[in-house]
Chains A and B, each alone.
Chain A
Amino acid sequence: QKEVEQDPGPLSVPEGAIVSLNCTYSNSAFQYFMWYRQYSRKGPELLMYTYSSGNKEDGRFTAQVDKSSKYISLFIRDSQPSDSATYLCAMSASGQESGNTPLVFGKGTRLSVIA
């Protein structure tokens, strides 16, 4: 079993739809959870960051972490064609106290929002 599992899609939705993207993981030591967005032929960029369990909202984006289920989600409300990209979940076991360890990434879900 891979450490992080993510459905690669592709996922195609109409403009205005609510999008749900998900990852599962196996390492219970993970406590830092991120979502990166990657446009075609560009490098990934950080979209959302969450520590431990709970929700975080930023505009149209909401990130949820359920550590008991080892499951994280990203919701996009009122999706726009400009949201069309690949969304990668990422997570790590360490943070500021013990220095960086490399992030473990999911394979990414390719999303297309159709106008």
Chain B
Amino acid sequence: GAGVSQSPSNKVTEKGKDVELRCDPISGHTALYWYRQSLGQGLEFLIYFQGNSAPDKSGLPSDRFSAERTGGSVSTLTIQRTQQEDSAVYLCASSLALAGTGELFFGEGSRLTVL
């Protein structure tokens, strides 16, 4: 389909392991966002990429979290040395540049469980 694609849809890992989550945005969307959704906590902003500009990393909760976006398209969110509190749904969204309406198109998320 033409929507935002995320993989894996579910990931179970052991505490201390590293995980990589992938996001494939809608073609032509230059802005890409990562949010985290924990039970009862709403959507927490993590990081934002806009074209070739430096990413806005202000929402990353610790230095164990990092993200990159290669070629202005696919993005990977990496969590090193996972902790149980990292368990959440990680949502990726994309939008057109200067989309003043704020319409973000979300993927279905990657559900991470850290045992």
Q: Which residues of A contact B (CB under 8 A)?
A: 6, 8, 32, 34, 41-46, 49, 88, 90, 92, 95-97, 99-108
Within 8 Å CB of A97, what residues of B? 100
Distance of A100 Cα from B29 Cα, bound (Å): 12
B25 adjacent to chain A (CB < 8 Å): no
Distance of A37 Cα from B101 Cα, bound (Å): 16
Q: What is the interface size of chain B, counting residues whose CB is below 8 A from a CB of the partner?
A: 29
**Known contacts A41-B108, A43-B91: A49-B103 contact under CB 8 Å:** yes
The tally of CB-CB contacts under 8 A between chains A and B is 75
Some 15 contacts from A to B, beta carbons below 8 A apart, are A32-B101, A43-B91, A45-B105, A49-B101, A49-B103, A88-B42, A88-B43, A95-B102, A96-B100, A101-B48, A105-B35, A105-B42, A105-B43, A105-B45, A107-B42
What distance in Å separates the Cβ of B67 from its nearest Cβ neighbour in chain A? Answer: 13
Within 8 Å CB of B108, what residues of A? 41-43
Q: What 1/0 mask marks residues of chain B from 102 to 115 whose CB sits below 8 Å from any chain A CB? A: 11111111000000
For chain A, what secondary structure do more than half of its interface residues adopt (helix, strand, loop), or is it mixed? loop
Within 8 Å CB of A49, what residues of B? 101-103
Q: Which residue of A lies closest to B104 (CB)?
A: A103
Interface residues of B in 19-36 (CB under 8 A from A): 31, 33, 35
B71 adjacent to chain A (CB < 8 Å): no
Within 8 Å CB of B45, what residues of A? 102-105
B99 adjacent to chain A (CB < 8 Å): yes
Q: Which residue of B lies closest to A106 (CB)?
A: B42
B79 adjacent to chain A (CB < 8 Å): no
Q: Are A102 and B98 in contact (CB under 8 A)?
A: no
Distance of A44 Cα from B103 Cα, bound (Å): 10
Q: Are B100 and A102 in contact (CB under 8 A)?
A: no
- Sample of 8 more A-B contacts, CB < 8 Å, known A44-B43, A46-B103, A105-B35: A34-B102, A41-B109, A88-B42, A88-B43, A100-B48, A100-B50, A103-B102, A105-B43
